[in-house]
Amino acid sequence: MTFKWLAACVCATPMLAHSLYLLPAKFHAAAGDEVVFSVHNGDAFPESEDAADPTRFLDAKLTELHDPELLPGVSAAADRIVAAVQDKRKITIYGDYDVDGVTATSLLWHCLRLVGGKVDYYIPSRLEEGYGLNCEALRRFHEDDPAMLVVTVDCGIASVREAELARELGLELIITDHHQFGPALPAAAGLVHPRLPGTDYPFGDLCGVGVAFKLAWAICARLGDGRKASPRMRDFLLSAVGLAAIGTVADVVPLLGENRVLVRYGLQSLRERSSPGLKALLTATGLVDKPVLVAEDIGFALAPRINAAGRLGQARLAVELLTTDNLERAGMLATYLEEQNKARQTVERRMFKQAKELIEQHPEWKDQSALVLDCSEWHAGVIGIVASRVAEHYQKPAVLIAVNLQEQTGQGSARTFARFDLHAGLAACSEHLQTFGGHQAAAGLRIGADAIKRFRDAFCRHVAEHHVVEARDFELTIDAEVRLADLTLRAVTELDRLGPFGRSNPRPVLTSSRVELAEPPRKMGEGERHLSLRLKHYGKTLRAVAFGKGEWAEEIAAVAGPISISFAPSINRFRGQESVELQLLDWHE
C-alpha cells in the first residue's frame, strides 16, 4: 500500500489524521543485521479502479460486482447448464481438492440443487490422481452415464488431452477455471475464464470460486426473469458470497476490485447466513460468537481446516461438510477436520525439519538461486505448505518433491520468492517433467524419480539466468510512524476500514522507535514457535505477537536498551473484550 493511497484514505477517516504520523519509510534487513530507513517511493501498491476514489474504496458495495454476462464464456456455459437441468440430465461438478476448489464445488452444487438439478460432485484424490482432470475419471463418467454433463471448477484450462478424450467419448464438458493456460486451449464444449485470449473482462484476478459464483449468478438469472434471480435464488447468492470469500482468501489472489467486494460482504454473510456445515466449522474454530470476522479468520482458522482434508486425501468430506443440512453430521465432520488439521500440522513440522537437514547435508545448495528438495518420506499432500516455509526461510524459490519409491515417480509443489514466475520457470524445464501447472506464485508438478537431478540443475540454472533479486525484495514497507499511545481502539477500528486485508491490500505497516519491554518475551504455541511480548511506549503498554518467530525471544531479551519495531495493528476480540494488538513483523536495536 503506498503512502499516497494511505494518506488519501486517512483523509476519508478523520480520526486517523490526528493519530498517525505519516512518515513513509522502508524497514529492512537485506544484508545481515543491517536495518535501514529510506523514503518510500510509492510504487508498491498497484493502480486500480479504486485508487481514484478513496471513499469508494472504503465503502465498496455488492452492486460494484461486474455483470456476470461479461465474464468470458459464462453465457454459453449457463445456457448449457440450464438446458441440462431442464432435460433432467445428470450433472457432475469436477472440483479441485484445495479450498478454492472445495468452496467452488460446494457453491455450484448448492445452486444446481436449488434449481432442481440432478447433480453430484467429484474431487480427485490429491495422493492418487493428482491435480486437475484425468482421463480415467472421464471414462468412468461416460460409462456411468453417456449423457452426463461435466462441469469443472478451479481446474481444466490446461487439460487439452483430457478435453479431447471427452470429445471422443461424446461427453459434454464445460471448463471453468482461473489458472494459467498453455499455448493451446482445451476443445471443451464451453470455457469460462476471466482472461481468455481475445477477451477483455474488467477484472482478471477472480479465483476459481469467484468464477463459480459468477456462473451461479448467471444460472439464477436465467431461471428468474432472464435478468434477475428469483427472491429465493437471491437469498442463495447472498449466502454463497460467504463460500466465495473463503476460497478467495485461501487462494491468495489480490484483494482488490471484485475480490475485495466478495470478501468484504462474504465475511458478513458467514456470520449471518452460514449453512449448518459452516456454522459447525465456525463453532469448532471458536469463531461462531465473534462479533466481527476478518480475512485473517479465514486464512488462519477456516481455510487450513478445509484444506487439511484435501491434503490428507479426504477432500470429499470437506465438500460434504459445506453441503450437508444435517446438523449432527456437520458437527461430526467439523470435529474430524479439526483432527485432520492437527495431524497436518504435526506432519508439516516434521517435514520442515527434514528439509532443513537436507540442505545442511548439501551445503552447495545454499549458493544456488533456487532449492529443489526431494524425499521419499514426505507426504505429498503437505509439501505445498512446507515449500512456502522453505522459500520464506531461505529467501529463494523452492520446489519440494515427495517421491513414491514403488512407482519411481515424484509429486512436487513449488512456491515463489521475490516475484519469480514459477509457471514460466517450470515451462522452461518441462522436458524433465511429466506434467505441471499453476501460476506465477505457486505451481505443482509430476516427475520421474530418475529425472529429479536433471530438473534440479535445469531449474536452478533457469532461475539464476532469469531472476534478479533486488533490494526491495527484502524490504518491509512502512506506511507511518506512530506512538503506541496513538493506537486507540477507535483509531485501529477506522484503520480496519481499509480491509479486508490480504495480497495486494496488506494491513498498513507502522513503526515505533525507542520501545521498551514491559516484561520478558515469552514463547508460545505448539513447539514454542510463536512469540508474545508486552511493549511499553510513552506510558502505553500493548501486547504484540510474532508468528513463527519464537527464536526472537532470546535475542530481544538480551538487548540492553529500547528497540525499534515494525508491526501491523489489529483488534483482538476475545470473550466480549476488545483490545489493540500488534503483529510484530521486524525489530532492531
In tens digits, the chain (589 residues) has pLDDT values of 444 445 555 555 555 554 554 444 444 433 333 333 222 333 333 344 445 577 788 888 999 999 999 999 999 999 999 999 999 999 999 999 999 999 999 999 999 999 999 999 999 988 788 778 999 999 999 999 999 999 999 999 999 999 999 999 999 999 999 998 888 999 999 999 999 999 999 999 999 999 999 999 999 999 987 677 888 899 999 999 999 999 999 999 999 999 999 999 999 999 999 999 999 999 999 999 899 999 999 999 999 999 988 887 788 999 999 999 999 999 999 999 999 999 888 999 999 999 999 999 999 999 999 999 999 999 988 999 999 999 999 999 999 999 999 999 999 999 999 989 999 999 999 999 998 988 888 899 999 999 999 999 999 999 999 998 888 888 888 999 999 999 999 999 999 999 999 999 999 999 999 999 999 999 998 778 899 999 999 999 999 999 989 999 999 999 988 999 999 999 998 877 899 999 999 999 8
Q: How far apart are CA 403 and CA 411, in angstroms?
A: 7
The answer to whether the CB of 461 falls within 8 A of the CB of 453 is no
First to last CA, the chain: 26
Q: What is the pLDDT of residue 576?
A: 79
Residues of each domain in the chain carrying CATH 2.40.50.140: 3-40+479-588
- Provide the grid cell at 340: 485432520
Q: How far apart are CA 440 and CA 163, in angstroms?
A: 24
- Provide the grid cell at 453: 537431478
C-alpha pair distances (Å), 70 with each of 203, 217, 243: 10, 12, 22
The sign of the dihedral angle between the CA atoms of 294, 300, 306, 311 is positive
Q: What is the pLDDT of residue 583?
A: 96
State whether CATH 3.10.310.30 applies to domain 362-469. yes
Eight-state DSSP code of residue 437: E
The answer to whether the CB of 581 falls within 8 A of the CB of 572 is yes
Q: What is the pLDDT of residue 38?
A: 29
Q: How far apart are CA 323 and CA 27, in angstroms?
A: 46
Q: What is the pLDDT of residue 10?
A: 53
Q: What is the pLDDT of residue 16?
A: 52
Residues of each domain in the chain carrying CATH 3.90.1640.30: 67-227
- Provide the grid cell at 133: 482432470
Of the candidates 59, 13, 18, 14, the one whose C-alpha atom is nearest the C-alpha of residue 487 is 18
Structural element, H or E, at residue 106: helix 99-114
Of the candidates 216, 207, 219, the one whose C-alpha atom is nearest the C-alpha of residue 240 is 216
Q: How far apart are CA 199 and CA 196, in angstroms?
A: 6
Strands (E), 393-546: 398-404, 409-415, 435-438, 442-448, 475-478, 480-481, 510-524, 530-537, 540-546
Cell 469463531, residue?
Answer: 287
State whether CATH 2.40.50.140 applies to domain 3-40+479-588. yes
The answer to whether the CB of 548 falls within 8 A of the CB of 509 is no
pTM listed for this prediction: 0.86
Radius of gyration (C-alpha) of the chain in whole angstroms: 24
Q: What is the pLDDT of residue 586?
A: 94
- Provide the grid cell at 552: 526472537
* 153 φ/ψ angles, rounded to the nearest 5 degrees: -130, 135
Q: How far apart are CA 57 and CA 42, in angstroms?
A: 18
HSE value, Cβ hemisphere, 13 Å, CA-based, for 276: 14
Q: What is the pLDDT of residue 76?
A: 98
* 280 φ/ψ angles, rounded to the nearest 5 degrees: -65, -40
The answer to whether the CB of 310 falls within 8 A of the CB of 98 is yes
- What is the dotted CATH code of the domain comprising 67-227? 3.90.1640.30
Q: How far apart are CA 287 and CA 300, in angstroms?
A: 11
Residues of each domain in the chain carrying CATH 3.10.310.30: 362-469
